């Protein structure tokens, strides 16, 4: 998979992409992530990427031209399965959407700032608008980092144990069951006997029951969706 990210703060991605699972996926050649500084696509000496909003109102709007120039250049080099705009008024990210995007070949992501981008850019270039939650971030970068993380860990071969993404919370619309490791007893609290029983079928059954119990008490909305 190849992911191109357009941003006015490309350095914001250095931390999240140089550790843990994303780093491993890049090192293994399973994903290529290319960062593009939007200011490199400006033509004025101030390298400005925003302008006043027509009709007034507080806040600036991201200009259409530098973004269009950058997207046009990338599109001339390859086809993209989706051109995603990270925005709080987009479709809410969930595991199903991450699964869907994880099997694509080329993704482009545009990070917004200020009051948003010129609406015509959304109409002309964006195929998918995604929000990572019902709150407003200072820009799309953290949203894009979250989206990339949730996608990349699902690319086949990225996680060592192929089954571990399948047992993540939300994969089957259930939260994960509780997990335990050593010691067997801590401050009077014991690991449930069933997990030490060695009886795999009963253990699996227990995990499923706990997953359903936890989902029912914490996220009943997930059960309603089926
Ligand atoms: N940009 C600002 N807020 C955002 C959000 N909640 N999700 C994605 N991008 C954003």
| Ligand 1 lined by 7 (C-beta under 6 Å) | no
Residues 118 and 50 in one domain: yes
Strand partners, 198: none
Whether 88 lines ligand 1, by a CB cut-off of 6 Å, is yes
On whether both 177 and 148 belong to a single domain, the answer is no
Residue 115 near ligand 1, beta carbon < 6 Å: no
80 has pLDDT over 60: yes
pLDDT digits (tens, 9 = 90+) for 201-215: 999 999 999 999 999
- The rounded distance, in Å, linking the Cα atoms of 136 and 138 is 7
197 shares a domain with 116: no
- Assigned domain for 111 exists: yes
pLDDT value of position 170 = 85
Do 106 and 39 lie in one domain? The reply is yes
Per residue in 15-73, pLDDT tens? Answer: 999 999 999 999 999 999 999 999 999 999 999 999 999 999 999 999 999 999 999 99
The reported pLDDT for the residue numbered 163 is 64
Nearest alpha-carbon partner for 131 in 99, 86, 95, 170: 86
Say whether pLDDT at 166 is over 90: no
- Does residue 147 share a domain with residue 73? yes
Ligand 1 probe mutation, 6, 85, 128, 132, most atoms within 8 A of CB? 132
Other C-beta atoms lying within 10 Å of the C-beta of residue 204: 10
pLDDT at 226 over 70: no
- Do 123 and 179 lie in one domain? The reply is no
Please report how many Cα atoms fall inside a 13 Å half-sphere around the Cα of residue 208, on the Cβ side: 7
Give me ligand 1 centre to Cα 194, in Å. 43
CA of 29 to the centre of ligand 1 (A): 29
In a domain, 162, yes or no: no
CATH of the domain at 11: 3.40.1280.10
pLDDT at residue 162 greater than cutoff 70: no
> Does a structural domain hold residue 201?
yes
What pTM, to 2 d.p., does this model score? 0.95
CA-proximal residue: ligand 1, atom 6 (nearest): 88
Q: What percent of the chain has pLDDT over 90?
A: 91
Task: State the CATH number of the domain containing residue 202.
Answer: 1.10.1270.20
Domain count, the chain: 2
Range of the domain at 134: 2-152
Question: How many angstroms separate the most distant Cα atoms in the chain?
Answer: 70
Read off the pLDDT band of 197 (50, 70, 90). very high
108 lines ligand 1 (CB under 6 A): no
Task: Examine the domain organization and report whether 12 and 75 are in the same domain.
Answer: yes
Quote the tokens at residue 162.
């192929």
In a domain, 159, yes or no: no
Are residues 184 and 136 part of one domain? Answer: no
Q: Is 6 in the pocket of ligand 1 (CB under 6 A)?
A: no
Average pLDDT, the chain: 96
Residue 130 Cα: closest atom of ligand 1: 8
Helices (H), 103-192: 119-125, 141-152, 163-166
Percent of the chain with pLDDT over 70: 98
> What is the atom index within ligand 1 of the atom nearest the CA of 138?
2
Domain annotation covers residue 80: yes
Same domain flag for 148 and 183: no
State whether 89 and 200 are in the same domain: no
- Chain segment 100-116, per-residue pLDDT in tens: 999 999 999 999 998 89
Q: Cα(132) to centroid of ligand 1, in Å?
A: 6
**Mean pLDDT, residues 192-199 taken together:** 98
Ligand 1 centroid–CA 117 distance in Å is 13
Q: Where among 103, 122, 152 does a domain terminate? A: 152
């Amino acid at each position: 998979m190849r992911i191109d990210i357009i941003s006015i703060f490309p350095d914001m991605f250095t931390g999240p992409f140089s550790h843990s699972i994303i780093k491993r996926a890049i090192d293994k050649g399973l994903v290529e992530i290319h960062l593009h500084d939007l200011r490199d696509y400006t033509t004025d000496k101030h390298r400005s990427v925003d302008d006043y909003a027509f009709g007034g109102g507080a806040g600036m709007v991201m200009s259409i031209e530098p973004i269009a120039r950058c997207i046009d250049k990338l599109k001339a080099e390859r086809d993209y399965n989706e051109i995603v705009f990270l925005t709080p008024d987009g479709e809410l990210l969930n595991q199903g959407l991450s699964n869907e995007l994880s099997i694509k070949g080329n993704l482009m992501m545009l990070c917004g700032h200020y009051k948003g981008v010129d609406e015509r850019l959304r109409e002309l270039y964006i195929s998918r608008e995604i929000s990572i939650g019902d709150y407003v971030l200072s820009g799309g970068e953290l949203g894009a980092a979250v989206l990339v993380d949730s996608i990349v860990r699902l690319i086949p071969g990225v996680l060592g144990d192929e089954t571990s993404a399948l047992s993540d919370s939300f994969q089957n619309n259930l939260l994960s069951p509780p997990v335990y490791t050593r010691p067997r007893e801590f401050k009077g609290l014991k690991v449930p006997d069933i997990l030490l029983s060695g009886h795999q079928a009963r253990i699996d059954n227990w995990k499923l029951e706990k997953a359903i119990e936890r989902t029912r008490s914490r996220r009943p909305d997930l059960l309603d969706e089926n």
